[in-house]
Chains A and B, each alone.
Chain A
Amino acid sequence: MSPSVLQRIASGDPAAVRECIDQYGPLVWSIARRLSRTPADAEDATQEIFLDIWRSASRFDASQGSDKVFIAMIARRRLIDRLRKTSAEPPMDPVEALETIAWADPGTACETSIEAEQATRALAELRPEQRQVLELGLLHGLSQTEIAARLSMPLGTVKSFMRRGLIKVREFMNVDAERVSARI
C-alpha cells in the first residue's frame, strides 16, 4: 500500500506538501468558512490549520483513520479554539443557510471517505430534530445555548440530542462490528 500524503509529508517529500494543499485545501477552506466569523478570519484560520497539519503529519496513523478525517479533526480543533478566543458573536453562516447543507449520500459518500459514509449512515438513523442539533453545532459552530435559543428548545434537550447523536456516530465509526450494531 502506498504511503498517504501525510505520511509522505512526514518523510520529507516536498511534492506531497503541494499535493496536500491541492487535495485538501477545498475541504479545509469550506470548514473554515463555516466556522469563522468573517472571510478574513477564515483565511487566517486556514493558514493556521495548514501549519498545524505540517506540524502534526508525523503523528498521523493510517490505522486510526483516513488522511481526510485526520485533517478535519485538526481543522475543527483549531477553529473551535479560535471561536472560543473571540467574542460571543456567532459564526458568519446565517441561519437561513441551514437548508443548504447537503449531506453526503450514503451510497456515494465512500467516494469522499469511509468516515463520511459511516457518519452519514449514523445520521440517517437520527430523528430530524436530533440531526438538526448536530448540524447547528458541528457544521455551523453554534454553542448548545445558541442552538437552544434558535430552536426554542430546552438546553437539556439540546445537550441530550447532541450527546446521543455524537455517540451514535462514534459507534458507527468504530470498526468493532458489535459496537456498531449497538444501542441508542
Chain B
Amino acid sequence: MSDTRPQGQPDEAMVDLLIKQVTEGLSPAEQRALDVMDSELATAYLRDLERAAAGVTLAGSTGGEPLPEALSARIAQQAAEHFAAAEHSAQPSNVADLSEVRAAAAEKARVQPPLAPSPAPAPVRATRFGGYGWLAAAACLVLAIFGWERSPPPLPPVAVVAPPPVAPPPPAQPAPPTAAEERAALLAKTDTLKIPLGATKDPAAAGVSGDVVWDPVTQRGFLHFAGLAPNDPAIHQYQIWIFDAGRDKRYPVDGGVFDVPANAGEVVIPIRASLMVRKPAAFAVTVEKPGGVVVSGREHVVALGATS
C-alpha cells in the first residue's frame, strides 16, 4: 500500500467523530465539528476505519443469499442506462441537451415551488433522471456563481427598517433583549456593517428584501428581512452562509438555520457563524434539508447581499 498518509495521530475527539461517521453517520453539528479539524489527517484515518469496518462486514457476511432475479435484472437495466447516458454525455452534441435540461428545470421550478411538500425520492427507477436533475442543479449552481462573480444582481429597495420599539418602563427583572433590540444596538456601533439583502430569481424569494447587520469585531450579526416564503421545518429549513474573502468561496461559513412562520412580516434572525469570518464579502440564504447541510448545493439561493 502506498504510504502517503499525513504525519501525526488524530486526537481522541477526531477518532470518536470518525468512528461515529463510519458506524452510524454524523449529525450536522458533528459534521461541522469534524470539518474544522485537520482534514488531511481525518481523511486518511477515515479511509482506514472504513476499510476496517468493511473488513468486519465481510468477515460477518459469509454465505450471502443470492440477489433476487428481478432485482438483478433491474440493476442490469439501470447499469445499461447509466453507461449509455455517460457515453451520450461525452459527445459534443450534448450542449443542446444541456439547454433542454435547463429549460426543463426552469419549467419544473415554475410549476413546483421549492418549498412545496414533495414525495420522498424514488431511487428504484429514477436514478437516471436523478442524474439529469443533478445536472440541472449543477447548471443552476454555475449560473449562480457566475452571476455572483461577474455582476451581482441588482438588489431591490430595502424595506424601511422599523425603529426599535420604545423601551417600556424597566421591570423589576429586565427581560433579555429581543433579536430586534440586539440588532439595533449593533447598528449603533461604528464598526458594524450593514449590507442590503436582495431577492434572487428563486420562486421562494419573490418579494424578499432586507439587510444583514454584521459586527466583524464581535463576530455577531443579524439577518433582517420581509417577504421570504414560510417553510415547513420538517421538510426544509433556510440556512445562512457567509462568504469570507479570506476563504475558498466554494466553502462559505455556515451561519445557522432558521424558519419563517406563516404571516411572519418582518423577521430578525441572529447569525451564528460556525467559524471566524475575517473579511465578509457576501451573505446568502439557501433552502436546505432540515438541520442544514455542511456544503450547500445552492440549488435554491433565495437571498443575497454583497459588500461593496
Contact = CB atoms under 8 A, between A and B. Distances in A.
Nearest to A33: B65
Interface string B17-48: 00110111110000000000000000000001
A102 B63 contact: yes
B116 interface: no
B54 interface: yes
Contacts, number: 183
Interface stretch (B68-76, B104-112, B178-186, B272-280): B68-76
A143 B27 CA distance: 12
Nearest to A175: B1
A76 interface: yes
A26 B75 CA distance: 13
Contact of A47 (B26, B48, B50, B75): B75
B226 interface: no
Interface in A41-92: 43-44, 46-48, 50-51, 54-55, 63-65, 68-69, 72-73, 75-77, 80-81, 83-84
A43 B78 CA distance: 13
A104 interface: yes
Contacts of A134: 56
A22 B3 CA distance: 33
B62 interface: yes
Contact of A112 (B20, B52, B62, B124): B62
A interface bracket (residues with beta carbon within 8 Å of B): 35 or more
A143 B68 CA distance: 29
Contact of A116 (B20, B25, B59, B74): B59
B249 interface: no
Interface in A129-184: 134-135, 137-139, 141, 143-144, 159, 162-163, 166-167, 169-170, 173-176
Interface in B119-162: 122-124, 127
A43 B57 CA distance: 19
Contact of B15 (A117, A139, A163): A163
A130 B101 CA distance: 52
Query: Interface SS of chain B: helix, strand, loop or mixed?
Result: helix
Given A47-B78, A47-B127, A65 B53 contact: no
B59 A47 contact: no
A44 B124 contact: yes
Contacts of B123: 44, 47-48
Contact of A166 (B2, B49, B64, B78): B49
A157 to B, nearest CB: 14
A46 B75 contact: yes
B146 to A, nearest CB: 26
Contact of A109 (B51, B59, B122): B59
17 contacts: A17-B79, A21-B72, A26-B64, A27-B61, A43-B124, A48-B127, A64-B2, A68-B58, A73-B51, A73-B54, A103-B62, A118-B55, A138-B57, A143-B23, A162-B19, A166-B52, A170-B52
Interface of B: 1-3, 15-16, 19-20, 22-26, 48-68, 71-72, 74-76, 78-79, 82-83, 122-124, 127
Interface of A: 14, 17-18, 21-22, 25-31, 33, 43-44, 46-48, 50-51, 54-55, 63-65, 68-69, 72-73, 75-77, 80-81, 83-84, 101-104, 109, 112-113, 115-120, 122-123, 134-135, 137-139, 141, 143-144, 159, 162-163, 166-167, 169-170, 173-176
